């Protein structure tokens, strides 16, 4: 966290608490451990090995379908992403965040591009206890200038490229290639599990606006009051997350009790979560699930999500194959890029109004 973050602090008990980080009482985490069955762990070898049998792929599609329905969150093993590349990226991330604030600020995000460093993200209007570096999958990434539906002006976003650590850009580029491969495999499995043609989702991702995020959660002196990331749903298609061995990610269980469940770190696995657009495309058959990150008073934590987003001008709406007389569309169409801009605009200060969410597009 930068030095200016304490400028608005006031004393609360013995710790100096910056009010911008403080969650409303209902969102403050209980730090006791919740026992319970964790999210499913799925072996992807039927689609990553050389000679898969058709029956093993069928079984995998069924497993993915149940995980999507029951949890919206699962972990995958044997996903094909080289471990050495993941280690290199994690080391590069640690070495980037270990620099001084002045050095990190040299690659700050600004209005010319969403790529870069910042430590001021707000989720639902409360400041997150974390630092971030975002890197776009495509260069340039085309994105609307404003959220106004009638404004056709487009920006060409490019990446911010830190001088340190060396090869930062090359490692990220290589990592993005792997994420693209894995995300297309997952989209195929999800399409098949919904009874769709396997490549059904691919057309949305030609000019994709996906990005990799490096998250750094410093130790936090008041983990009972703040969160690394407040409760939210991801707004793209899906997210592929690499987390280190510290833990802190929690997912809201879909059963009636709505408990927060810890997502236990499993060495070498990836966490997959469905995001808002899969919910709309599937007409609510699958749902985007709420999750959050709790912080730790002693340990720092690193995580690396890859957010898969379609092209900015894709109109997101329930897929026609899934719509029929007894299953009419449950969501109004929206333009991917305009929706995201409206949502970001709402993320900037702490105020009580809810920022734009997918349920605002629900047809009553």
Ligand X SMILES: O=C(O)CCC(=O)C(=O)O
Residue 212's CB: how many other CB atoms inside 10 A?
23
d(CA 123, CA 134): 16
Name residues whose C-beta falls within 8 Å of residue 168's C-beta, 6 or more positions apart in sequence: 92, 96, 161, 162
Q: How far is the CB of 362 from ligand X (least distance, A)?
A: 22
Task: Tell me: does residue 249 bind ligand X (CB under 6 A).
Answer: yes
Which residue in the shown chain puts its C-beta closest to ligand X? 303
d(CA 90, CA 172): 10
Task: Tell me: does residue 75 bind ligand X (CB under 6 A).
Answer: no
d(CA 347, CA 126): 8
Taking the CA atoms of 111, 117, 123 and 125 in sequence, report the sign of the dihedral they define: negative
Q: How far is the CB of 5 from ligand X (least distance, A)?
A: 19
Binding region for ligand X (CB under 6 A) out of 2-10, 35-43, 45-53, 241-249: 241-249
Ranges of beta strands (E only) in the chain are 9-12, 15-18, 41-43, 73-77, 116-118, 122-123, 126-127, 131-136, 141-144, 154-157, 211-217, 229-232, 238-243, 249-252, 260-262, 270-274, 291-293, 301-308, 315-316, 334-335
Q: How far is the CB of 52 from ligand X (least distance, A)?
A: 30
Task: Tell me: does residue 241 bind ligand X (CB under 6 A).
Answer: yes
Among 47, 227, 293, 294, binds ligand X (CB under 6 A): 293
Task: Tell me: does residue 234 bind Fe ion (CB under 5 A).
Answer: yes
Q: How far is the CB of 294 from ligand X (least distance, A)?
A: 10
Task: Tell me: does residue 128 bind Fe ion (CB under 5 A).
Answer: no
Task: Tell me: does residue 122 bind ligand X (CB under 6 A).
Answer: no
Estimate the crossing angle of helix 83-97 against helix 168-193, to 10 degrees: 130
Task: Tell me: does residue 131 bind ligand X (CB under 6 A).
Answer: no
Task: Tell me: does residue 252 bind ligand X (CB under 6 A).
Answer: no
Among 234, 276, 287, 290, binds ligand X (CB under 6 A): 234
Q: How far is the CB of 8 from ligand X (least distance, A)?
A: 24
Give the CA diameter of the chain: 63
Binding region for Fe ion (CB under 5 A) out of 109-117, 131-139, 230-238, 247-255: 230-238
Task: Tell me: does residue 243 bind ligand X (CB under 6 A).
Answer: yes
Which residues are near Fe ion by CB under 5 A?
234
């Amino acid at each position: 966290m930068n030095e200016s973050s304490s400028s608005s602090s006031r004393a609360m008990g013995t710790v100096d608490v910056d009010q911008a980080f403080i969650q409303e009482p209902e969102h403050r985490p209980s730090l006791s451990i919740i026992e319970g069955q964790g999210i499913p762990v799925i072996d992807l070898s039927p689609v990553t090995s050389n000679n898969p049998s058709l029956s093993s792929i069928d079984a995998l599609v069924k497993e993915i379908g149940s995980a999507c329905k029951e949890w919206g969150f699962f972990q995958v093993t044997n996903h094909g992403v080289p471990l050495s590349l993941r280690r290199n990226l994690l080391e590069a991330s640690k070495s980037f965040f270990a620099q001084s604030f002045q050095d990190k600020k040299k690659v700050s995000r600004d209005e010319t591009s969403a790529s870069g460093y910042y430590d001021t993200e707000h989720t639902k209007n409360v400041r997150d206890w974390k630092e971030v570096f975002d890197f776009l999958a495509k260069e340039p990434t085309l994105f609307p200038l404003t959220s106004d539906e009638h404004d056709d002006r487009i920006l060409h976003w490019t990446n911010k490229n830190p001088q340190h650590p060396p090869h930062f850009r090359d490692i990220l580029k290589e990592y993005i290639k792997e994420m693209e491969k894995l995300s297309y495999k997952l989209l195929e499995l999800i399409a098949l599990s919904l009874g769709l043609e396997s490549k059904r989702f691919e057309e949305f991702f030609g000019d994709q606006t996906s990005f990799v995020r490096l998250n750094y959660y410093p130790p936090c002196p008041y983990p009972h009051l703040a969160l690394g990331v407040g409760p939210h749903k991801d707004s793209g298609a899906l997210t592929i997350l690499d987390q280190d061995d510290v833990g802190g990610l929690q997912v809201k269980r879909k059963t009636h009790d709505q408990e927060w469940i810890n997502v236990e770190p499993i060495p070498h696995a990836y966490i997959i979560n469905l995001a808002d657009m899969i919910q709309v495309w599937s007409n609510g058959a699958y749902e985007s699930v709420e999750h959050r990150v709790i912080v730790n008073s002693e340990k720092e934590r690193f995580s690396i999500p890859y957010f898969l987003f379609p092209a900015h001008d894709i109109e997101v709406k329930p897929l026609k194959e899934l719509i029929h007389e007894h299953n009419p569309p449950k969501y109004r169409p929206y333009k991917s890029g305009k929706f995201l801009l409206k949502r970001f605009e709402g993320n900037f200060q702490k105020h009580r109004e809810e920022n734009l969410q997918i349920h605002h597009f629900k047809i009553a």
